[in-house]
Chains A and B, each alone.
Chain A
Amino acid sequence: MLDIRNLQARVGGGADILKGITLHVNAGEVHAVMGPNGSGKSTLAQVLAGNPAYEVTGGSATLDGNDLLAMQPEERAHAGLFMAFQYPVEIPGVSNAYFLRSAYNEIRKAHGQDEVDPLEFLDIMEKNLALVDMEPSMLNRSVNAGFSGGEKKRNEILQMAVLRPRLAILDETDSGLDIDALRIVAEGVNKLRRPDNATIVVTHYQRLLNHIVPDFVHVLSAGRIVKSGGKELALELEEKGYDWIETPAEAVA
């Protein structure tokens, strides 16, 4: 489903941050991407979502055979990509309800489906709000404005639940969550798992992977995947830290 080959990217004309990432994700799989601070995890997520601040300098990425890198960010969303931001953006003045309904309808339109009206949408929202244990009143608040860290993360999962992506990339959705919120988020993700979609979970901590069990774990270091394995790799990392993993030559220099 997702096919990344030798992907390289940088920001503001500097040196490459991603130095050749290769990763294949099939439908039905959950992949975890781990790695120390600054290793390029968010960069990978942002590049896949199409953040114009990042420049792709080499390699390719396709979703269901379509060239992701040639698409606008909104087209990637229409194609089924969803990236939960590590730092969700505040948009004062735009209500959550209006924002989500606009997104929902634009994706429907892109698929030749009719838009839903505000009342129908409210129905859809009610079910999904329960999934992430959020109050309906938050729909009237501005997108993420004044939300607590945990509320922002739950709001990302709410969006994911409503938009039903084929491929979800969760960038540290677990950081800053207490154990209850973590469980809610993880349960949300698990309930949304289907044989025809896939999830990439970016995280620092093994604890999330107790709740969302990955099929594969990849370790990112200095812009490269330096180790891949099964879920036991995450446990090993938890025990030994990242130091035992071979560091690529450039990063040492």
Chain B
Amino acid sequence: MTAPVLLREFEDFAANGGGSGPSWLLPLRRAAIDRFAALGFPTPKNEDWHFTSVAPIAEGTFRALPGGPARSVRLGAADVEPFTFARPDWIRLVFVNGRYDAALSSGAARPTGVTVTDLARAWREQPEVLERHVGKVADYQRTAFTALNTAFMHDGALIQLAPDVALETPIHLVFVSTPEAAGSASHVRTLIVAGHHARATVIESYVSLGGATGYFTNAVTEAVLGDGATLAHLKLQTESERAFHVGTLQAHQGRDSHLVSFAYAAGGELARTNVYTLLAGEGSGATLHGLYLLDGEQHVDQQTRIEHASPNTFSREVYKGILDGSSHGVFNGQVFVRPEAQKTDGKQENNNLLLSAQARIDTKPQLEIFADDVKCTHGATVGRLDEMALFYMKSRGIGAERARKLLTYAFAAGVIEAVGVPEVRAELEALTLRRFAGAGAAAGS
């Protein structure tokens, strides 16, 4: 998937179907691929990618087939059931290798004022809203992977909430990859438009089936939050340890809006999660939580960028990482406070727990403040399991393995508690307990 190969693939794509869709789309794709050609894949010299080499992706043989490989993959409901939180009633779109699968998706009725459509159809049926926002929020000028997605995007989801609509149950997008995905890239794209004072929860699950390996997901989600809107966004990335993943959430926030993001990253050989938001409207705020659990040879990188662009905006950020084996984790938390963003209130925290001597974490808080009347704090810690706490537990009869697990879990518990959807919270608790279980039995509740 070297850059020249990609440019040739783009020409093929543009000639065969990439040009379909609304008339403004092909020029947007061209602008994006031109930008990608100029940027190239990021190198460690790029400060946004300082600790992460994307060589395995750049030099990989992933074919940027929009919509993924052969349509012939047929999954049954039972295959995806494990990823549904036992809530078949939620509005759910399922994508297999980057393509929407209507049969696996739930046709749950959309309440009045709520639109949830697969993107391939939305290009035809709702081009106006797409034209208004696609490519306007997700910044393909700065980010090569977003440019690539914008050039090749085809399937994904469009979620629209009319003003004042409050949706109680989550909207769930499930991106499943199967062994047939090997060697391919999928550039799924999601647009979320929340009207003023609308309120909803969107969950994105990225999962592998049947030990899918050697595929690349390059997902971009754009979110537009109207005045007073609240969007809870949960990204759960639990792909196989041989998957490649770059996922970006980029939001634009109106006055008094609130973005509540939770990013869980446990899968991937090389995985990068970006959460970017622009606090454009006065009084808007972002609460970002993240948990990354790494093991073996995994390299998992998270970057957050919060731009305080208006007065009285706030941000709250807690990311935690647990690293075992010879994994390598990266956290880069950027907070920019523009001159006009007086009374900004920002707090950032990144805590890491290293379970092995070989595991490594690079944590880099990055605050750039251009206003003078602001309150911004940040802190980063890297630690190991507390030996004294381990001994204390053992001295009460709790076995070594169980004591380790309990302490590891306790470290993560703080951010898991922040997950507002009980079903997801319970699942994450179980996943976290299981993840570092070693040979011991799983802890009960």
Chain A interfacial positions (CB closer than 8 Å to B): 49-53, 72-74, 76-78, 82-83, 85, 88-94, 98-100, 102-104, 106-107, 110, 118, 142, 159, 163
Q: Which residues does chain B contribute within 8 Å of A163, judged by CB atoms?
A: 396-397
Are A74 and B414 in touch, CB under 8 angstroms? Answer: no
Among B397, B402, B403, B410, the residue within 8 A (CB) of A93 is: B410
Q: Which residues does chain A contribute within 8 Å of B1, judged by CB atoms?
A: none
Q: In this assembly, does B393 line the interface, its C-beta being within 8 Å of a C-beta of chain A?
A: yes
Bound state CA distance, A118 and B397, in angstroms?
A: 18
Shortest C-beta distance, A187 to chain B (Å), equals 22
Bound state CA distance, A106 and B405, in angstroms?
A: 15
Q: In this assembly, does B392 line the interface, its C-beta being within 8 Å of a C-beta of chain A?
A: yes
Q: Which residues does chain B contribute within 8 Å of A85, judged by CB atoms?
A: 392
Are A94 and B407 in touch, CB under 8 angstroms? Answer: yes
Residue of A nearest to B391 (CB): A51
Bound state CA distance, A243 and B387, in angstroms?
A: 37
Q: In this assembly, does B7 line the interface, its C-beta being within 8 Å of a C-beta of chain A?
A: no
Are A93 and B413 in touch, CB under 8 angstroms? Answer: yes
With an 8 Å Cβ cutoff, the count of chain B residues facing the other chain is 25
Are A77 and B397 in touch, CB under 8 angstroms? Answer: yes
Are B389 and A91 in touch, CB under 8 angstroms? Answer: yes
Bound state CA distance, A78 and B397, in angstroms?
A: 6
Q: List 20 A-B contacts (CB under 8 A).
A: A50-B394, A50-B395, A53-B387, A72-B400, A73-B394, A74-B394, A74-B395, A77-B394, A77-B397, A88-B392, A89-B392, A93-B407, A93-B411, A93-B414, A99-B393, A100-B396, A102-B443, A103-B397, A103-B398, A106-B399
Are A91 and B391 in touch, CB under 8 angstroms? Answer: no
Q: In this assembly, does B206 line the interface, its C-beta being within 8 Å of a C-beta of chain A?
A: no
Residue of A nearest to B406 (CB): A94
Among B398, B406, B407, B443, the residue within 8 A (CB) of A74 is: B398
Bound state CA distance, A106 and B403, in angstroms?
A: 11
Are A74 and B392 in touch, CB under 8 angstroms? Answer: no
Are B393 and A91 in touch, CB under 8 angstroms? Answer: yes
Shortest C-beta distance, B234 to chain A (Å), equals 21
Which of B397, B398, B400 has the most A CB atoms < 10 Å from its CB?
B397
Are A89 and B388 in touch, CB under 8 angstroms? Answer: yes
Shortest C-beta distance, B311 to chain A (Å), equals 36
Bound state CA distance, A102 and B398, in angstroms?
A: 7
Task: Name B387-445 residues within 8 Å CB distance of A.
Answer: 387-389, 391-400, 402-403, 406-407, 409-411, 413-414, 443, 445
User: Number of residue pairs across A and B with beta carbons under 8 Å?
Assistant: 83
Q: Which 3 A-B pairs have the closest CB atoms?
A: A93-B410, A77-B397, A103-B396
Residue of B nearest to A142 (CB): B410
Bound state CA distance, A99 and B403, in angstroms?
A: 10
Task: Name B112-154 residues within 8 Å CB distance of A.
Answer: none
Among B389, B391, B410, B414, the residue within 8 A (CB) of A73 is: B391
Bound state CA distance, A74 and B393, in angstroms?
A: 8
Are B395 and A49 in touch, CB under 8 angstroms? Answer: yes
Residue of B nearest to A51 (CB): B391
Bound state CA distance, A73 and B391, in angstroms?
A: 7
Bound state CA distance, A53 and B162, in angstroms?
A: 62
Among A53, A92, A98, A106, the residue within 8 A (CB) of B397 is: A106
6 additional A-B residue pairs with CB within 8 Å, beyond A50-B394, A94-B406? A73-B391, A74-B396, A78-B397, A93-B413, A104-B397, A159-B396
Are A74 and B400 in touch, CB under 8 angstroms? Answer: yes
Q: Which residues does chain A contribute within 8 Å of B407, judged by CB atoms?
A: 91, 93-94
Shortest C-beta distance, B394 to chain A (Å), equals 4
Are A91 and B392 in touch, CB under 8 angstroms? Answer: yes
Are A107 and B392 in touch, CB under 8 angstroms? Answer: no
Residue of B nearest to A108 (CB): B397
Q: Which residues does chain A contribute within 8 Å of B393, judged by CB atoms?
A: 91, 99, 103
Q: Which residues does chain B contribute within 8 Å of A77, judged by CB atoms?
A: 394-397
Q: Which residues does chain B contribute within 8 Å of A94, judged by CB atoms?
A: 406-407, 409-410
Are A74 and B397 in touch, CB under 8 angstroms? Answer: yes
Bound state CA distance, A110 and B402, in angstroms?
A: 14
Bound state CA distance, A93 and B413, in angstroms?
A: 6
Bound state CA distance, A73 and B392, in angstroms?
A: 9
